[in-house]
């Protein structure tokens, strides 16, 4: 046996030669080199198939079938499932850390699925969102500790707000797009996202790769990120945006830095990140100027000064075991918003060992941070943004009811634009033109279509949000926030309900 194990392919590609029109379109579409023309017919190298589905969906003869490989299965073993044996076999061949992308793909329970929402009946009337207003707007930024009003002594009906508001951004829907850098995703994917958030009246994160000059026109709906590598960070990048976020951690890889392989650093990326073409873009694990809350406070203060106190400055952390005291320290350091990213959050590239085994679920992080900040009288000072497994509108609603102000997601946006979640983003060969920098693949993503599909998705979420708020008899998202009394737990572990501070069903 060679050093490289022979590992059974995960997928099996079958070509129905009777239906095949011999057009060879599938060969062109497959960016992973799985399909080829042998002179008389299409043949497949199943080891290379990642089930991205591109070939099958574009086959004019519907001749391609992709299935899990059932012809060569691993002998069953309860303690060593095929997944673990694959990892051992792969590493004994390469000796390297296994990389992957998208989010944690292990079958941990998704706590959102164990939570049910309340609805109104008889004594507490519901609201019909088609006939009555239901407010979906929220504000991103620090709020005043209390509201003060000035009553006109001559005309007591004339009341003016006296309290000064720190900078806030008004969002039409309580959800933002997570940080995906130009580099991790393509120019066309970035453009579609930025155009869509502008039309939707919400925001997207820039990721840690700086901002390409052509995207400056979308700055009014973007949050630039300041990560440990400081890629692309300059005055021009920071000014005139919605807010600025310091990235300490990311849910998909808590405690880890960023890594964009050199082969993805083409001219476009090198200019935007301000690094040489072809060089790896490595963000250090920690910020080398932040080793305490005081250090963080200094960076927050510096960014506030840099942005002339016109925008909120926030901090993003991964949800880890002691997330609540960390969050408290961050608010005390002056952060106007706090982004919590749970352990099912997505990534363009992360070591599997961290992606799949480090961090905690976002549901418990939201509840424990919200509670701690309330206990310490800090909750109203900060906007909590929560992400890392907000998959659809139901998760968004539950995240807000648990205590978040705003949800954050990336995967649903990519899936809306065409992503098949094949978990190959780190290879830069995305056949759908999303997670790639190869010109011939990038062109495959039609910016207009991707923009429209993303807008449609969030429009649907907004309507569903109004529907459920109406059914719960709540007329605004602000009134849903932290309203845990309207949640019930139906999962197998009542201890989770205690930690979330929600009642069990039937209570």
Is the Cβ–Cβ distance between 434 and 269 less than 8 Å? no
Q: What's the closest the beta carbon of residue 344 comes to ligand SF4, in angstroms?
A: 15
Q: What's the closest the beta carbon of residue 213 comes to ligand SF4, in angstroms?
A: 25
Tally of CB atoms within 10 A around 76: 8
CB nearer to ligand SF4: give 52 or 396: 52
DSSP, residue by residue, 152-179? -SS-TT-EEE-SPPPP-EEESSSEEE--
- To which H or E segment does residue 66 belong? strand 64-68
Tally of CB atoms within 10 A around 478: 16
Q: Are strands 42-44 and 35-37 parallel, antiparallel or unpaired?
A: antiparallel
As a whole number of angstroms, the distance between CA 345 and CA 252 comes to 5
Binding residues for ligand SF4 (CB under 6 A): 15, 20-26, 42, 52, 59-61, 63-64, 101-102, 414, 419-425, 430, 432, 434-435
Q: What's the closest the beta carbon of residue 341 comes to ligand SF4, in angstroms?
A: 18
- Tokens found for residue 173: 């829907």
Q: What's the closest the beta carbon of residue 106 comes to ligand SF4, in angstroms?
A: 17
Burial class, 443, CB count within 10 angstroms (exposed 0-12 / middle 13-18 / buried 19+): exposed
From residue 33, give the alpha-carbon distance in Å to each of 18, 44, 101, 379: 23, 9, 20, 52
Radius of gyration in angstroms for the set of CA atoms belonging to the chain, rounded to a whole number: 24
CB nearer to ligand SF4: give 360 or 416: 416
CB nearer to ligand SF4: give 98 or 239: 98
Sign of the torsion formed by the C-alpha atoms of 390, 395, 396 and 401: negative
Q: What's the closest the beta carbon of residue 57 comes to ligand SF4, in angstroms?
A: 10
CB nearer to ligand SF4: give 2 or 38: 38
As a whole number of angstroms, the distance between CA 321 and CA 271 comes to 38
For residue 319, the Cα-to-chain-centroid distance in whole angstroms is 13
Q: What's the closest the beta carbon of residue 209 comes to ligand SF4, in angstroms?
A: 16
As a whole number of angstroms, the distance between CA 141 and CA 480 comes to 18
CB nearer to ligand SF4: give 335 or 414: 414
- Alpha-helix runs per DSSP H in 8-162: 25-29, 54-58, 82-94
As a whole number of angstroms, the distance between CA 100 and CA 50 comes to 12
Is the Cβ–Cβ distance between 247 and 179 less than 8 Å? yes
SS3 at position 148: coil
As a whole number of angstroms, the distance between CA 373 and CA 370 comes to 5
CB nearer to ligand SF4: give 42 or 243: 42
- Tokens found for residue 113: 């699925």
CB nearer to ligand SF4: give 34 or 140: 34
CB nearer to ligand SF4: give 300 or 425: 425
Q: What's the closest the beta carbon of residue 434 comes to ligand SF4, in angstroms?
A: 4
Q: What's the closest the beta carbon of residue 103 comes to ligand SF4, in angstroms?
A: 10
Q: What's the closest the beta carbon of residue 219 comes to ligand SF4, in angstroms?
A: 25
As a whole number of angstroms, the distance between CA 353 and CA 333 comes to 32
Instruction: Name every residue whose Cβ is closer than 8 Å to that of residue 421 and which is 6 or more positions away in sequence.
Output: 102, 411, 415
Q: What's the closest the beta carbon of residue 151 comes to ligand SF4, in angstroms?
A: 56
CB nearer to ligand SF4: give 64 or 242: 64
CB nearer to ligand SF4: give 60 or 166: 60
Is the Cβ–Cβ distance between 369 and 119 less than 8 Å? no
Is the Cβ–Cβ distance between 174 and 405 less than 8 Å? yes
Q: What's the closest the beta carbon of residue 189 comes to ligand SF4, in angstroms?
A: 8
CB nearer to ligand SF4: give 420 or 466: 420
- Name the packing angle between helices 393-402 and 447-472 (round to 10°): 50
CB nearer to ligand SF4: give 168 or 250: 250
Q: What's the closest the beta carbon of residue 411 comes to ligand SF4, in angstroms?
A: 9
């Amino acid at each position: 046996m060679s050093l490289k194990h022979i590992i059974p392919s995960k997928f099996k590609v079958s070509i129905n030669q009777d239906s095949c029109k011999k057009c060879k379109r599938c060969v062109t579409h497959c960016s992973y080199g799985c399909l080829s023309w042998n002179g008389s017919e299409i043949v497949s190298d199943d080891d290379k198939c990642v089930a991205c589905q591109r070939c099958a969906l574009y086959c004019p003869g519907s001749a391609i079938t992709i299935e899990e490989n059932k012809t060569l299965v691993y002998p069953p073993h309860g303690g060593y499932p095929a997944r673990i044996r694959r990892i051992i076999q792969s590493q004994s061949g390469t000796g390297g850390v296994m990389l992957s992308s998208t989010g944690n793909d292990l079958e941990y329970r998704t706590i959102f699925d164990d939570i049910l929402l309340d609805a109104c009946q008889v004594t507490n009337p519901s609201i019909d969102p088609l006939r009555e207003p239901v407010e979906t707007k929220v504000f991103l930024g620090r709020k005043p500790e209390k509201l003060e009003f000035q009553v006109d002594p001559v005309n007591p009906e004339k009341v003016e707000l006296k309290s000064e508001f720190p900078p806030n951004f008004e969002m039409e829907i309580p959800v933002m797009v997570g940080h995906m850098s130009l580099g991790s995703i393509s120019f066309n994917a970035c453009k579609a996202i930025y155009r869509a958030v502008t039309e939707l009246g919400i925001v997207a994160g820039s990721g840690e790769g700086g901002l390409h000059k052509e995207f400056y026109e979308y700055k009014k709906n973007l949050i630039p990120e300041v990560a440990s590598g400081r890629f692309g960070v300059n005055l021009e990048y920071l000014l005139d945006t919605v807010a600025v976020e310091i990235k300490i951690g990311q849910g998909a890889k808590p405690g880890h830095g960023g890594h964009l392989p050199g082969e993805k650093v083409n001219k476009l990326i090198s200019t935007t990140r301000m690094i040489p073409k072809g060089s790896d873009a490595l963000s250090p694990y920690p910020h080398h100027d932040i080793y305490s809350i005081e250090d963080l406070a200094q960076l927050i203060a510096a960014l506030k000064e840099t942005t002339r106190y016109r925008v909120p400055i926030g901090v993003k952390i991964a949800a880890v075991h002691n997330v609540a005291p960390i969050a408290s320290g961050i608010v005390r350091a002056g952060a106007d918003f706090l982004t919590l990213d749970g352990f099912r959050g997505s990534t363009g590239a992360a070591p599997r060992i961290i992606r799949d085994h480090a961090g905690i679920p976002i549901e418990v992080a939201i509840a424990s941070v919200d509670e701690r900040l309330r206990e310490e009288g800090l909750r109203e000072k900060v906007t909590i943004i929560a992400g890392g497994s907000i998959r659809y509108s139901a998760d968004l609603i539950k995240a807000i009811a648990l205590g978040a102000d705003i949800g954050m997601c990336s995967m649903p946006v990519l899936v809306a634009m065409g992503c098949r979640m094949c978990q190959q983003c780190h290879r830069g060969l995305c056949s759908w033109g999303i997670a790639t920098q190869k010109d011939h693949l990038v062109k495959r993503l039609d910016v207009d279509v991707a923009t429209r599909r993303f807008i449609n998705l969030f429009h649907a979420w907004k309507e569903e949000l109004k529907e459920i708020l109406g059914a719960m008899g709540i007329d605004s998202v602000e009134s849903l926030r932290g309203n845990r009394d309207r949640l019930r737990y139906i999962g197998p572990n009542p201890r989770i309900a205690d930690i979330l501070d929600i009642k069990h069903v039937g209570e």
